[in-house]
Amino acid sequence: MGLADLHIHSDYSDGAASVERILFRACHLGLDTIAVTDHNEIAGALEARRLAERWQLPVQVIVGEEVTTSEGHVVGLFLKERIRPLLTAQATVDEIHRQGGLAIAVHPFSAWLKMFDCGGVGRLVERLQFDALETANGNITEGFSNAWTRGYNRRVTRLAELGGSDAHTEAAIGQGVTVYPGAGAGMLRQAIYYRATTARESAWKLGAMADFLKNHLLGKMDLYGAKGGAIGQSGTI
């Protein structure tokens, strides 16, 4: 079975880790696929993919972006170009599909992130053409949200379920993962299409908890401002 973390932030947006450190951590954890999904930016993902291929690492990198729409955050996977922020959620999903990518509703019902203007799209998942739903977000604040989203998806939307760490520190990588048949980005995409994925979240380990408290809650990174994709503060268009 394949193991992927599909929601990772690098220091190209509001993450603390370089793409090099992200790649080494992914290899150490035995992940075969990762998606670098910086806020409103794909340069870090492109660099991570280039390095993984150049160094012939046993991990494949999907070019992703966590796009700040006017109605909440949406992740695009398998992108070719950066998508500018503050489009409507519908226009963002349409642009992701125009590029041949997959549109993912991440942390759609997160109460914590919504307080900081960085939430998901909520019940828009019912009427927009999302390809998958993040039901296991590895952030320590999202336990209740994950449970609610899983139940909602199984009752209402019935989309492929994905897991991602939403890592903003190196130690947090792998705290949310997607399990799927096969290995590699191509097999993962096929598994999403056939809804053959399983989302899992890990119990937070001491190192990840320490990083979260030091670098997240204590304001060592600009997680809830422009670099973190706050709606209305999303920086360069």
Q: pLDDT tens across 198-217, in order?
A: 999 986 666 666 766 666 65
Q: Does domain 2-217 have CATH number 3.30.1050.10?
A: no
Out of 140-144, 155-159, 164-168, pick the least confident.
140-144
Query: For residues 209, 44, 52 and 103, what is the CA-based torsion angle, rounded to 10 degrees?
Result: 80
Please give the average per-residue pLDDT across 19-30, as a whole number: 98
What tens digit of pLDDT does each residue of 54-95 get? 999 999 999 999 999 999 999 999 999 999 999 999 999 999
Out of 88-92, 126-130, 138-142, pick the least confident.
138-142
**Global pTM value:** 0.90
Q: For the chain, give the secondary structure using H, E and C.
A: CEEEEEEECCCCCCCCCCHHHHHHHHHHHCCCEEEECCECCCHHHHHHHHHHHHCCCCCEEEEEEEEEECCEEEEEECCCCCCCCCCCHHHHHHHHHHCCCEEEECCCCCHHHHHCCCCCCHHHHHCCCCCEEEEEECCHHHHHHHHHHHHHHHHHHCCEEEEECCECCHHHCCCEEEEECCCCHHHHHHHHHCCCCEEEECCCCHHHHHHHHHHHHCCCCCCCCCCCCCCCCCCCC
Residue spans per domain, the chain = 2-217
Spatial distance between the Cα atoms of 16 and 10, rounded to a whole number of angstroms: 6
